[in-house]
Structures are given as structure tokens and as C-alpha cells.
Amino acid sequence: MLVLGLESSCDETAAALVEDGVRVRGDAVASQVDVHAEWGGVVPEIASRHHVINLIPVLQTALDRAGARLDDVDGIAVTRGPGLVGALLVGVQAAKAMAWARGIPLVGVNHLEGHLSAVWLDGAQGPGFPHLALLVSGGHSELVIARDHGVFEVLGATRDDAAGEAFDKVGKMLGLGYPAGPVIDKLAQTGDPKAFALPRPMRGRGLDFSFSGMKTAVLTIVQREGVPTGQRLADLCASFQASVIDQLVRKTHAAIEQHHVKQLQVAGGVAANRGLRAAVGELCTSLGVELFVPSPARCTDNAAMIAAAGYWRLQRGERADLTLNATATLPLSEPA
């Protein structure tokens, strides 16, 4: 079954053709990073307008790369939330128009479910069920038990900023541009993670996260001594990253013990972080837990993961009609 995935929830316009939920035949992503960089974050209205411009060329590129035509498509999966409503609507309307005009089955997908479906792409073996998932992106940080494709139980979530959001906000304070996660990741490689004593909050057994305190701590340092440069900037990035990773790993460890899981997947944009990948690797080795992490390119927003998630829903006979709509908030535990 060849599924066309469309993704436009934030600042990436993406289309992909995926066979049987696992084999990526062709995909394309148009990033708007340059457009939003001068604002230090995503401007929703500008994002919507660029999705309108980019969607058809991105779709055509994905079809060309797959050597396919719209007539070959057996189902369309589109992100319906969570995200920026104006941005989501561009993908949802395009998907509905194509599904209606060509009589192709349509299904709406939760963006977070998409992230949790990337792990099976590109011929990866992927985890079985149930398994634990650490989902860390620009908008969400959650620990989730995946019971089946599309069936989740949320164990804990951030009480304030998402992990990626904290990376981006700290990066903004340090003049590192947007998105700052990959830049901090790179600088942290040459920094000393013990150079700055940043807070290590949420020390109890609960599974929620909080990242705003460490962000404030970085702000206090910048107010006291200005934006550091050279080695000191690398040290601050390494110290901040270490405190984020410390909390993510501690909570993941607690969830593994409390829920007796034997497999873990880490997903979302922050899962591309080298320090986090190494730290969860060590944790899993020490606990005898099998670890699954998508390739860095499949961690950040893409449409192949949406097509993959949609495939399982289409397989179960799920169909959306033309009342399908975009929604800004959409919990993972809610059925699509």
C-alpha cells in the first residue's frame, strides 16, 4: 500500500510516499528556517503563507523521487494536529482536495504519533509492543507507553517548556540563531559540562519534566557576565545540555523501572542530539533495555513519519471524510 504523507504543522512543508508503513519511496522537505530566523522563532502567519507556496512543489518533488504519480497513491495521511492551526490547515485542505478529486482514502494523523512511527522507517526492525517512548521535540516532551500503533498511555509530560523549546530559547539568549538545538549540540561537544552548575530539578519519582528553571539560570548568567564567547560559550552550552539530558535520562530510567519495559524508543527533533543519543545508549546498556532511535533526519519533522502512522490507521479501516479539520492541541492519548 503506497501512502502519501503531508506535514505542515509548524515551519516545515513536507511530503513523502511510503510503502507499507516502512519503505520510503520518495520524500521532500521545504524548510522555512531562513524565513523565520530573523524573528528568532516561527511566525505563524508567515509559516502559513509559505506552506501555500511550498506545498505543490514539495509534493511534486516527492512524487518524482518515488517515480510515482498521484494515481499510484492508495491512501493520503495528513497531520491534523497539534500545531499552528493556520499552518495545519494548508496540509489538511490540500489532502482533502486530492482525496475528494481522486477518490483516494484519507486519514488524519496526530503529529506526535508520526514522530513515534519514524522508528520503523527505512527497513529498521523497530520495537515491539508495549514499549516505552521518550518523545522530545520543539513543542512536546513526554514519556509514553506505546501499546500498539496509535494506542498510547502518557506517563508524564513537561510542566512548562518542551526540551527543544528550552534549547531554542537558551540559544536565542546566547545569540545562536533559530533553531538553536543543533548549534548547542555542536558547541557542547567541545565544552566542559561541569563548568557551570545549572539546576537539576524534578528529583522526585514523578515522571513529569520541567525545563524553565535551567533556562532562567542561563539568563541569570548572561545578565551577570554578558553573553560568553569562545571556550566559555562552549562550556555554557555543554553545561545546559548536560542538565537537560540529566533530567531526560533520570525520568526515562524511573519510567523503565516503574513500568518494567524491555524496549525504549527516543523520538522527536531533540532525539537528534548527540549527547542525548549517547546518554540513553549508556542507560539502556546498563539496564539491559533494547534501544531504538530513528536516524537524525527522521527525528526532525518530515512527512514519511506521517505516512507511516497513517498506514497503520488505514490498515485498520479508518477513514476521514471532508469534515476533517485542523486542531491546535491534540493529546497523544486521544484517538485520531
Binding site for ligand KG4 (CB under 6 A): 10, 137-139, 164, 167-168, 179-182, 185, 268-270, 272-273, 300-301
Nearer CB in complex with ligand KG4: 20/334: 334
245-304 residues near Zn ion, rule: CB under 5 A: 301
The answer to the question of residue 137 lying near Zn ion (CB under 5 A) is: yes
Please give the single-letter amino acid code of residue 80.
R
Nearer CB in complex with Zn ion: 11/301: 301
CA distance 244 to 247: 5
The partner in contact with residue 181, picked from ligand KG4, Zn ion, none with C-beta cut-offs of 5 to 8 angstroms by kind, is: ligand KG4
Contact 74, 59 (CB under 8 A): no
Distance in Å, CB of 111 to Zn ion, minimum:
6
Nearer CB in complex with Zn ion: 137/241: 137
CA torsion, ordered 103, 105, 107, 113, to nearest 10 deg = -140
Nearest-CA neighbor of 26 among 5, 53, 47, 1? 5
Contact 3, 310 (CB under 8 A): yes
For residue 303, is it left (φ>0), alpha (ψ between -120 and 50) or beta? alpha
87-106 residues near Zn ion, rule: CB under 5 A: none
Nearer CB in complex with Zn ion: 137/141: 137
Distance in Å, CB of 240 to ligand KG4, minimum:
11
Region near Zn ion per CB under 5 A, out of 92-100, 130-138, 227-235, 246-254: 130-138
Nearer CB in complex with Zn ion: 137/247: 137
The answer to the question of residue 142 lying near Zn ion (CB under 5 A) is: no
Nearer CB in complex with Zn ion: 84/187: 84
The partner in contact with residue 247, picked from Zn ion, ligand KG4, none with C-beta cut-offs of 5 to 8 angstroms by kind, is: none
By CB under 5 A, name the binding residues for Zn ion. Answer: 137, 301
